[in-house]
Amino acid sequence: MTLAEIFRRAVFWCALTALFLMPQAPVHAQDPGSGSVTHQMYLDMKLGKLNIHGDNAVVEALVLQRDLPITYDYIATLMRTPNAFGDGPACIVCHSSNDPAKSYRGLDLSSCEGILRGSTEEPPRSVIVPGKPGASTLTHMLRDNRMPLGVPFFHPIESDAINAVKDWIDSGGANDDTFKKKVLPLFSDPKAFGGEAPCIECHRSFRDPPSFNEVNLTSYEAIMKGAFSKTRGKQGKPGLPIVVPFDSTNSPLYLRLTRNRMPPGIDPGADNNHPNIQLLMRWIEQGAWCR
């Protein structure tokens, strides 16, 4: 565990301990104020409903389950704090202006307005979809590792192999000779995308495990089933598409080959359900209000 992680956990648990050690009078359901969040937490503790261990469980039990409002003030703090989402610099070190000459992607994470404006570098893109954390680029940049797992941060994103996948998708993503001869073999090649193992080592079936996210890259039909096709199929839903024909910029298959997880250099094994990521997602879900 790094020194930064030790310090963060110490501050987190000191604050939580202070909350638990506050004097509490006996609480009864008929007491005035028994509907407050603090009193409800106390009741849950007495009834044995709270059995939490670790930062993630604490955030889940004390904040997310109770749907506490997440203020922009907290989000602003996260953007200014090193190691907020995992070991690495504060977000605003690289993203503090909408001027692409001064800030990567022309993305300003130093203000609420800047976050909602999104990146201004061509092509301009939003990074937040209020109410939809799963559709927000900012969420994916903090959670999704670039593939193959462990590929160096500065590995080219316009290699022949990656461009072959991009061009195939942008031309319609058909099951044609281009796919069969130039694209499908790449997923069996351990060196194709800058890693040490072929894609199909981790994505070869519709079961998780052994295939992460139930992604199967062994055939055209399997690829077009998308992610979580087995799990979602039990609910009568199709898999989540990883190829959007004619649109590589919205196709997860291409994006995972080109987008590095943030912050730069974060260990690919780092928890992508970090408590602060969960709180950021809840802020987005609640509307991403600037208040």
Instruction: Tell me if the pTM is above 0.85.
Output: no
Q: Quickly state the pLDDT bin for 17 (edges 50, 70, 90).
A: very low
Q: What is the pLDDT of residues 239-273, one digit of tens each?
A: 999 999 999 999 999 999 999 999 998 998 899 99
Q: Mean pLDDT over residues 89-94, rounded?
A: 96
Summarize pLDDT for 57-86 with one digit per residue, the tens: 778 877 888 888 999 999 999 999 999 999
User: Over the stretch 151-165, which tens digit does the pLDDT of each residue have?
Assistant: 999 999 999 999 999
Higher pLDDT, 45 or 118: 118
The alpha carbon of residue 228 and the mean position of all alpha carbons in its chain are separated, in whole angstroms, by 17
Terminal-to-terminal C-alpha distance of the chain: 34
List own/partner pairs for 190-199 with CB under 8 A and 24 or more apart: 192/161, 193/147, 193/148, 193/151, 193/159, 193/161, 193/162, 193/257, 194/148, 194/151, 194/152, 194/155, 194/156, 194/159, 195/147, 195/148, 195/149, 195/150, 195/151, 196/148, 196/150, 197/148, 199/147, 199/148
Structure tokens at 219: 């055939």
Q: Which is more confidently placed, 18 or 198?
A: 198
Measured N-to-C along each axis, helices 275-285 and 72-80 cross at an angle, to the nearest 10 degrees, of 140
pLDDT tens for residues 109-167?
999 999 999 999 999 999 999 999 999 999 999 999 999 998 999 999 999 999 999 99
